[in-house]
Amino acid sequence: MDQIENRLTKLALNGDQQAFGEIVELYKDKIYHLGYRMLSNRHEAEDVVQETFLRVFKSLDRFDPNQKFSTWIYRIATNLCIDRLRKRKATYSLDADMNDQEGMDGYSLIPSDDRTPESELMISETKQLIYDAIESLPAKYKSVMILRYLQDLSLQEISDVLGMPVTTIKTRVHRGREFLRKKLEPKL
């Protein structure tokens, strides 16, 4: 993956629009899922995807080839999401659009041969409980937990994306898990 990113980034830096299009294809779904998990709003997530790639295109000449491209693009997208969260009114419900199932991972909707409708319902309800619990996290824990568990980034990658020390990331992951454990314990 890193070799493909490096090749595409070099080509895009030299003005190759097709290479930039491939970068968009490579990351658009990942950025959308990140935005949707952080903002709980399909339209805002779509806006974050567009704005992320606009910023990437405008700033491509400032990209440091010594760092991972994925870290750089996730940092841009995460910062855009955090900015949107800060601009929201305090009365905005973090549960908004949670009934909208479009943000669910497509793989979770494909039943296996051994699942019954009852087990599917239980799995669906459990996932919803977990997503609701993540939605209720304070923003500083929410972004770290989404990047760690829904985007599968390493602690070092999260540190690079958020521009924080790894020790801070570890603390926030630990506190975020504790918050989720307390929130979910009586329900699961």
Q: What is the DSSP string of the chain?
A: -HHHHHHHHHHHHTT-HHHHHHHHHHHHHHHHHHHHHHH--HHHHHHHHHHHHHHHHHHGGG--TTS-HHHHHHHHHHHHHHHHHHHS-TT--TTTTTT-GGGS-GGGGS--TT--HHHHHHHHHHHHHHHHHHHTS-HHHHHHHIIIIIS---HHHHHHHHT--HHHHHHHHHHHHHHHHHHHTTT-
Q: Say yes or no: domain 1-91 is CATH 3.40.190.10.
A: no
pLDDT along the chain (188 residues), means of 10: 70 77 88 89 92 89 82 90 75 43 47 56 71 82 84 85 90 89 73
Instruction: State the pLDDT at residue 153.
Output: 83
Q: Determine if the pTM surpasses 0.75.
A: no
Every domain of the chain with CATH number 1.10.1740.10 lies at 1-91
Considering the segment(s) 113-188 as one domain, its CATH architecture is Orthogonal Bundle (1.10)
Instruction: State the pLDDT at residue 107.
Output: 45
Instruction: State the pLDDT at residue 86.
Output: 79
Instruction: State the pLDDT at residue 46.
Output: 93
Every domain of the chain with CATH number 1.10.10.10 lies at 113-188
Instruction: State the pLDDT at residue 96.
Output: 43
Instruction: State the pLDDT at residue 114.
Output: 54
